[in-house]
Amino acid sequence: VGATVVGAAGAPGVVEGIARVIMSDAEIDKIQPGEILVTPFTTPAWTPVFSTIKAVVTDGGGYLAHAAIVGREYGIPAVVGTMEASRKIKTGDKLRVDGNLLRVYVL
């Protein structure tokens, strides 16, 4: 089965976990430790959650996007620039995030 979404850039690593789709920073408090954050984009206001999430997937961004840079800093996989992750992935989906190949799979 092919990837559900493919990104443009990111941070290396491969993890599996449960998705949490968050559409704005007003919902940050819904993120649970160990989840995979799926969102349109991140900003510096999101940085504290990077210490608790397993990976991040965004609709927008490139190599210098906040999510990609902070993912690399925290050593967690990131796939950014997918264009459609927050529409195709639902909270509770089990994901495999492959930051090496810039692919996200719903398992």
* Residue positions annotated with a catalytic role: 66
Taking a C-beta distance cutoff of 8 angstroms, is the pair 48, 86 a contact?
no
Separation of alpha carbons 52 and 41, rounded Å: 17
Is residue 4 within 8 Å of 96, Cβ to Cβ?
no
67: helix, strand or coil: helix
Coil, helix or strand for 38? strand
